[in-house]
Chain A
Amino acid sequence: MSDPSGDGTVPALGRGVKFRFDEVRQNWVLLAPERLFVPDEQAVEILKLVDGVRSLGAIIDDLAGRFAAPRDLVARDVAAMLGDLADKGAITL
């Protein structure tokens, strides 16, 4: 399949990175080697779909459908959020 936008990329959590719900604070946390991220609501929805199986395109489709948002806008937000976490070593793209 032709994939000029990189939609076929399969994002995954980096080695040693864990995404879990923190019962004490009642929010999701991303735990990485010697760092810790508290993602905002939008980032949480994205990260819940990062399972090392779904492609970037499938993640964007899912979010655009569920939140009835324009696909290109969702694609931009997802790319920015995952790109930032990839630079920090929490996500592999």
Chain B
Amino acid sequence: MSALAVTSLAPPMGLLAELTHRCPLRCPYCSNPLELERGAGELDTATWLRVLDEAADLGILQVHFSGGEPTVRRDLPDLVRRAAERQLYSNLITSGVMLDERMLGGLVEAGLDHVQLSFQDVETGNAERIGGMAGAQAKKRAAAALIQHAGLPLTVNLVIHRQNIDHLPAMIALGAELRAERIEVAHVQYYGWGLVNRDALLPSRAQLEAATAEVEAARGRFKGRMVIDYVTPDYYAERPKACMGGWGRRFINITPAGKALPCHAAETLPGLTFPSVREASLAAIWRDAPAFERYRGTDWMVEPCRSCDRREIDWGGCRCQALALTGDAANADPACALSPHHGAMRAAIAAADRATAPGFVYRRIGAAPTVEA
């Protein structure tokens, strides 16, 4: 046994705890898989508490409580409390529509560190059409007020696409009005539900350039008061993003049913068996699971990644996107201009430009659509 190989594996930094797939919103770009888990299949409280203990022991520093809508879990304050006891930095990723005074009070008392609150648009009608939930906008604004009142730091999350991107200046102003410390402007990632709805969501180049310019300008306007992070769109990129900071390098994602994944979309990849936290410890999974080893590091790479001097910067990009657009998860992410499949992205942009306002396929439990990439 090689001691060197064992010691050279750095511990993960972050745990993405997808507590549930249940959510009152039905966003057509939801990052949950097409096959959504029902409530009955979710991990119980005791198992999540054990996972949090194992995460702290393993060296994880931050826990992101996500979903679905994590506040549908009544035990959320208990989980946050355990995270705080183990010095895990806790982040709640929420739509805010179920965040009443009682739930938020419980979370504050338990030691929650930060809230990320999403808005689908600044215009109520469009926001509620995109999110597929009437009455959501007022609830979100009320949640933002409660978060402010409680003194919790707030990130406003703005997912942008063809059908709201022109409102970005007003959306950023909304973040400032809600006194967010931080705004995250994120282009839709086109896998899963986003890929199903790509023709309805992919922005034009002119829209993208206007949005990028607005982010730059807003960073200047709010310097020192509000940080603005920007997740760029792969379809107009020349180089891929380091998806999850590299496969099996920084993050573990736990699904509602307890599967441990290197990224939240990893279950779309064929031929991989993902371990369950019901049967194995996080430490054993991180160290031994073949699925975490499969695309870890650079040994698995083919050209153009294999000899690329950026291979330890972007780690080959996104495996799920490589699979969806090239048919092989080991290929370079086609977001890279060096990929022979880069043209697939150009073709998708052209197709979206030709498409005349197709309707959304909303996310729904038990109604996975067929995907044609």
Contact = CB atoms under 8 A, between A and B. Distances in A.
Interface in B40-59: 57-59
Given A33-B114, A34-B91, A25 B11 contact: yes
Interface in B89-127: 89, 91, 113-114, 116
Nearest to A29: B61
B89 A24 contact: no
A24 B227 contact: no
A22 B59 contact: yes
A33 B61 contact: no
Contact of B153 (A16, A86, A87): A16
Nearest to B113: A16
Which of A18, A31, A34, A87 is most buried by chain B, counting CB atoms within 10 A of its CB?
A: A34
B2 to A, nearest CB: 21
A11 B184 CA distance: 25
A15 B62 contact: no
A34 B13 contact: no
B281 to A, nearest CB: 15
A22 B61 contact: yes
Contact of B152 (A16, A18, A20, A31): A16
A48 interface: no
A31 B61 contact: yes
Nearest to B116: A34
Interface string B74-88: 000000000000010
Nearest to B227: A89
Contacts of A25: 11, 59
A54 B181 CA distance: 24
A33 B59 contact: no
Nearest to B250: A36
A33 B181 contact: yes
A14 interface: yes
B239 interface: no
Contacts of A86: 224
A57 to B, nearest CB: 21
A36 B184 CA distance: 16
20 contacts: A14-B153, A15-B151, A15-B153, A15-B181, A16-B114, A16-B152, A16-B153, A22-B59, A22-B61, A24-B58, A29-B61, A31-B62, A33-B91, A33-B114, A33-B116, A33-B155, A33-B182, A36-B61, A87-B223, A88-B227
Interface of B: 11, 13-14, 57-59, 61-62, 64, 87, 89, 91, 113-114, 116, 151-153, 155, 181-182, 184, 223-224, 226-227, 229
Given A15-B181, A31-B113, 13 more contacts: A14-B181, A16-B153, A18-B89, A33-B116, A33-B182, A34-B64, A34-B91, A34-B116, A34-B184, A36-B13, A88-B227, A89-B182, A89-B226
